[in-house]
């Protein structure tokens, strides 16, 4: 596991590590060593595993099994682990609002008896990933730097290395080679330190990894052979069922493909509109400082639910509240958020709707009532905006929320 943290991007080593974690986890469950089992499962939710689609598809079965287990209340790290699971699942379902809330729940549920700062670093790492997926560069960088300070002050070398890698990739993607190189050098120095301290470059360790790889290959081959034998034995009996399921799968795949194509089309259109907007604002007299201050005022207004949930709220009203004009507000929204006013307003309203759909104070409202309460009068428009922001319908979101409450 330490070697994987240092090297990174080692799919075969990641599979081997996860396999050992899984074996240790289920053996711990079998002998009812719950603190040990929960601690191991927390390690299984590492970015090296949940960030790889193939490994996460396998890990989902373990997550489902973990959620079904009757683990005693008060087990160390149990609430932290459940919050981490909620965060990971929300990220993979593109529900970034829920994922972000889960990272704060992780911090609230860190037991003080263990190494709390290490788990706080894990929460910051996930929060950085969410901000990156939301294209919120400002908060992503701020969170990464918080992670660096936390890891440095508490000597969490592997966590510090992870944040160095993220900062290096971020600045490379932005074309800032000087800062990217700085964090690259920090990463290499720390890597050398960890390798030396753990003697991970020894021949015996490399031989162990080779033997482990060979053993994994043998297990995978035997598993595949058994899998095909089972298929041949049962294919005649289940043929009709398979055909039916295949038809359902193809139909759903077609619908998913159509939804994906629509999203891609909207992304292309948004990109074209941004390019047109950049050309349109070429003659603007706003300085970078002016834009930053105006963006902060826009943020403050967009967080005021009394304003944005008014169905008459528009760009002119936003310009009035930010003490600016229509054109400058439109320019800053286009350049700072990468979207137009309507898209920004819909996103803010949907985030508030997410909160109200799970808030007991609004429990008497139907979904349509919640839509109207956030300023969206059309149920069909509300459903469309909701899916664009969260990736699911409001009814599905509400259902999952209720299931989560029962599970907790």
d(CA 106, CA 91): 15
Q: What's the pLDDT at 7?
A: 65
What does the CA dihedral 291, 292, 293, 295 come to, rounded to 10 degrees? 80
Q: What's the pLDDT at 57?
A: 81
Residue 285: how many other CB atoms lie within 10 Å:
6
Tokens of 326: 């229509």
Fold for domain 249-407?
Answer: Arc Repressor Mutant, subunit A (1.10.10)
Of 288 and 212, more confident: 288
pLDDT bin (cut points 50, 70, 90) of residue 20 is very high
d(CA 321, CA 66): 49
Mean residue pLDDT of the chain comes to 84
d(CA 135, CA 336): 10
Weakest mean pLDDT among 122-131, 145-154, 166-175, 187-196? 187-196
Residue whose pair of structure tokens reads 């930010």 in the numeric block: 322
Query: Helix, strand, or coil here: 284?
Result: coil
Average pLDDT, integer, range 74-84? 89
d(CA 378, CA 371): 8
d(CA 371, CA 380): 10
Which residues does 408 contact at the CB level (< 8 Å), separation at least 6? Answer: 82
What does the CA dihedral 125, 131, 135, 137 come to, rounded to 10 degrees? -70
Is a pLDDT exceeding 60 seen at residue 323?
yes
Alpha carbon of residue 318 to chain centroid:
31
Of 158 and 325, more confident: 325
Query: How many alpha carbons fall within 13 Å on the CB side of residue 367?
Result: 15
- b (16+ CB within 10 A) / e for 45-81: bbbbbbebeebbeebeebbeebeeeebeeebbbbbbb
**Highest mean predicted confidence (pLDDT) among 52-61, 117-126, 282-291:** 117-126
Q: What's the pLDDT at 275?
A: 55
Q: What's the pLDDT at 203?
A: 46
Average pLDDT, integer, range 330-346? 89
Query: What is the per-residue pLDDT across 188-241, written as a single tens digit (0 to 9) for each?
Result: 888 878 777 665 555 446 656 666 677 777 777 877 888 888 888 888 888 888
Average pLDDT, integer, range 98-109? 89
Is a pLDDT exceeding 90 seen at residue 30?
yes
- b (16+ CB within 10 A) / e for 299-322: eebbeebeebbeeebebeebbebb
Q: What's the pLDDT at 382?
A: 92
Q: What's the pLDDT at 279?
A: 54
Average pLDDT, integer, range 71-90? 90
Residue whose pair of structure tokens reads 């359902």 in the numeric block: 248
Alpha carbon of residue 8 to chain centroid:
19
Is a pLDDT exceeding 80 seen at residue 386?
yes
Domain boundaries along the sequence of the chain:
2-201, 207-234, 249-407
Average pLDDT, integer, range 337-365? 89
Residue 396: how many other CB atoms lie within 10 Å:
14
Query: What is the per-residue pLDDT across 31-77, written as a single tens digit (0 to 9) for each?
Result: 999 999 998 988 888 877 777 777 788 888 999 999 999 999 888 88
* Domains 2-201 and 249-407 alike in fold: no
Weakest mean pLDDT among 1-15, 261-275, 343-357? 261-275
Q: What's the pLDDT at 8?
A: 64
Query: Helix, strand, or coil here: 169?
Result: helix
Q: What's the pLDDT at 120?
A: 87
Average pLDDT, integer, range 111-130? 78
Specify the length of the chain in residues: 408
Is a pLDDT exceeding 60 seen at residue 94?
yes
Is a pLDDT exceeding 80 seen at residue 264?
no
Is a pLDDT exceeding 70 seen at residue 98?
yes
Best CATH choice for the domain 2-201 from the list 1.10.3720.10, 1.25.40.10, 3.10.560.10, 3.30.830.10: 1.25.40.10
């Amino acid at each position: 596991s330490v070697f994987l943290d240092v090297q990174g991007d080692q799919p075969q080593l990641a599979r081997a590590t996860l396999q050992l974690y899984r074996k240790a986890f289920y053996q711990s469950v079998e002998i009812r060593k719950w603190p040990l089992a929960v601690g191991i499962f927390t390690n299984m939710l590492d970015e090296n595993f949940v960030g790889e689609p193939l490994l996460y598809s396998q890990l989902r079965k373990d997550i489902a099994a973990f959620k079904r287990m009757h683990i005693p209340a008060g087990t160390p790290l149990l609430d932290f682990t459940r919050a981490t699971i909620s965060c990971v699942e929300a990220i993979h379902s593109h529900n970034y609002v829920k994922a972000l809330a889960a990272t704060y729940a992780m911090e609230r549920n860190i037991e003080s008896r263990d190494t709390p700062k290490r788990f706080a670093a894990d929460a910051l790492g996930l929060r950085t990933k969410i901000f990156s997926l939301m294209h919120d560069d400002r908060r992503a960088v701020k969170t990464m730097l918080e992670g660096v300070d936390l890891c440095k002050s508490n000597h969490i070398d592997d966590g510090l290395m992870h944040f160095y890698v993220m900062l290096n990739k971020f600045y490379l993607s932005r074309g800032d080679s000087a800062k990217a190189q700085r964090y690259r050098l920090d990463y290499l120095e720390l890597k050398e330190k960890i390798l030396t301290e753990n003697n991970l470059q020894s021949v015996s360790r490399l031989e162990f990894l080779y033997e482990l790889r060979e053993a994994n290959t043998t297990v995978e081959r035997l598993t595949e052979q058994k899998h095909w034998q089972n298929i041949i034995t049962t294919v005649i009996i289940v043929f009709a069922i398979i055909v039916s399921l295949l038809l359902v799968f193809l139909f759903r795949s077609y619908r998913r493909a159509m939804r994906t194509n629509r999203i891609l089309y909207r992304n292309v259109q948004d990109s074209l509109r941004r390019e047109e907007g950049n050309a349109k604002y070429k003659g603007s007299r706003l300085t970078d400082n002016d834009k930053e201050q105006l963006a902060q005022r826009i943020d403050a207004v967009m967080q005021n639910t009394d304003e944005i949930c008014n169905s008459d709220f528009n760009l002119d009203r936003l310009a009035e509240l930010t003490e600016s004009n229509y054109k400058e507000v439109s320019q800053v929204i286009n350049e700072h958020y990468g979207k137009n006013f309507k898209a920004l307003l819909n996103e803010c309203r949907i985030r508030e709707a997410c909160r109200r759909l799970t808030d007991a104070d609004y429990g008497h409202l139907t979904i349509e009532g919640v839509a109207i309460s956030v300023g969206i009068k059309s149920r069909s428009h509300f459903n469309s905006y909701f899916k664009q922001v969260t990736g699911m319908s409001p009814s599905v979101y509400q259902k999952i929320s209720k299931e989560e409450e029962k599970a907790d």
